[in-house]
Amino acid sequence: MRMAGTEETFVIRGGTALHGEIAIHGSKNAATKVLVATLLTAEPCVIDNVPFSDDVGITRELCERIGSSVVCGDDHSCTIATSEIRETSVLRLSRRNRIPILAMGPLLARRGEAEVPFLGGDPIGHRPIDFHLEALTRMGAVIERRAHSYFATTRRLTGADIRFPFPSVGATESVLLAAVLADGVTRIENAAMEPEVQNLIGMLTAMGARIAYEPAARYLEITGVTRLSGARHRVIPDRNEIVSFAIAALATGGDLVLRGAEAVPLAAFAEALDQMGGRITEEEGGLRVAPGGAWRSISVETAPHPGFMTDWQQPLAVLLTQARGTSILHETVYEDRLGYLKDLGRMGARVAVSDECPEGRPCRFASRTFNHTARITGPAALRGVATTITDIRAGMAHVIAALSAEGESVISGVSHIDRGYEKLDERLRALGANIRRIKHKTQ
Ligand code: EPU
């Protein structure tokens, strides 16, 4: 956890292969939503496998400001109880991450009023919240845009038929969190079906919500109930940690056992790795990754689940710099998520980005001017440089590149990585990495 008035930097000396075993923590993108779900009941809830990354800390602060008492143990279990909603305005958490908008449903359901700040999070595209606001409006919320916030009121939330233009994870979660206590039935078409969304559905169902869903059809049907109870729920393993650590090992020429990792939610990653010549195998209590020989170039397109996740393309790009030939990376979820490749270029990667979709693979960014396609030619020798990172997954790509590069890298902006990964440096060191965290005083 960062202290006020300090900034932190990683100093990494590359060239050591990572080996051994790592325990995978709970998913921050599931845990943060499950914590918000506990606001829907006055009864205590117990959440197991909560990762202690900074985004979870910000979400805990959000809940506490609203009125929750939260007690977390070293075993990563948290008990959270919100007997009373004391505060419906959470403005002071302005712009730190994207979770406050999700509190709108629970606050409207329990108090009929909510004020949330404009959202923060990673600079990876425009990231509007129009789907959230339109859906909640259809459900009976009256939402006013103020200078620094959205202020919403309702007499009673009611079920509605909603069709998203794109299967947004956050908007699907917003509607779920609003619909479980609404009057009547809410139907969502083109819903996001990420494992993290399904984990939230598991929590809400354990609390007494009535939710039916068909993942393959991207269809959700929620029948509102009048009250929800406390529940005990386990957060799923973090798919981003699994892929990040797996690629960190492979890019350094090592291999790794990922304790607690599950194969099914990683199918698209396993397929890409298999095409490149790597191996991911199940073993008791986890997964093992190992290189298969020389890396082969591939074409990858990011997509909503069950497709190849947009949060995986950054670590993968580092491995692609080591593959023979030209790989294509087509980002179709966020319009501006390839900026980090410029710094990989400074490290020696051969990378070209363009606003054109690969032939035969047009996406919703076709004929726009977003640089969302990358061609990466390898193998290229990487060398250490100084970089400043601006988002979680791009930050992880820089860490992996630095671990596999020759010489020393200095990575500033570590607070972005700490939002998504708990004690990343300590855990990498345990696998053999040469990584130090340096604290500097700021003005
Ligand atoms: N979108 C809209 N309008 C909306 C909502 C989304 O146009 O109202 C667009 C977005 O601009 C984007 C696309 O829909 O182009 C998908 O966005 P989505 O809503 O699915 O993303 P999110 O809920 O804001 C979560 C994760 C991201 C992850 C994406 C996709 C959290 C806190 N964040 O974001 O994780 O990349 O889903 O799976 O759960 C990360 O952890 O580093 C991260 C960025």
Mean pLDDT of 213-226: 97
261 pLDDT band, cuts 50/70/90, is very high
Neighbour-count burial of 410, counting CB atoms closer than 10 A to its CB (0-12 exposed, 13-18 middle, 19+ buried): middle
Say yes or no to pLDDT of 123 above 90: no
Q: Which of 35, 166, 340, 415 to mutate to test the pocket of ligand 1 (most atoms within 8 A of CB)?
A: 166
Say yes or no to pLDDT of 95 above 60: no
- Residue 209 CB neighbours (<10 A): 22
Say yes or no to pLDDT of 65 above 50: yes
pLDDT at 92 (0 to 100): 76
Length of the chain: 443
* DSSP label at residue 241: H
Omega before 215 cis (within 30°)? no
Say yes or no to pLDDT of 119 above 80: no
Instruction: Give the pairing type, strands 350-354 and 373-378.
Output: antiparallel
Kindly report the average pLDDT of the chain as a whole number.
95
Ligand 1 centroid–CA 398 distance in Å is 22
pLDDT at 120 (0 to 100): 62
3-state secondary structure of 393: helix
> Annotated catalytic sites, by residue?
122
Mean pLDDT of 257-271: 97
Residue bearing the CA closest to ligand 1, atom 23: 170
pLDDT at 292 (0 to 100): 85
**Contact indicator for 25, 438 with CB cutoff of 8 Å:** no
Ligand 1 centroid–CA 195 distance in Å is 14
pLDDT at 153 (0 to 100): 98
Say yes or no to pLDDT of 94 above 60: no
Say yes or no to pLDDT of 271 above 60: yes
CA atoms of 284 and 408, how far apart (whole Å): 37
User: Is residue 95 lining ligand 1, measured as CB closer than 6 Å?
Assistant: no
Neighbour-count burial of 407, counting CB atoms closer than 10 A to its CB (0-12 exposed, 13-18 middle, 19+ buried): middle
Say yes or no to pLDDT of 1 above 50: no
User: Is residue 170 lining ligand 1, measured as CB closer than 6 Å?
Assistant: yes
For ligand 1, what atom is nearest to the CA of residue 168?
20
Structure tokens, 182: 């609404």
Mean pLDDT of 49-55: 96
User: Is residue 244 lining ligand 1, measured as CB closer than 6 Å?
Assistant: no
pLDDT at 91 (0 to 100): 85
User: Is residue 238 lining ligand 1, measured as CB closer than 6 Å?
Assistant: no
Mean pLDDT of 11-39: 98
**Contact indicator for 301, 330 with CB cutoff of 8 Å:** yes
Q: Which parts of 292-385 are beta strand (E)?
A: 299-301, 325-330, 350-354, 373-378
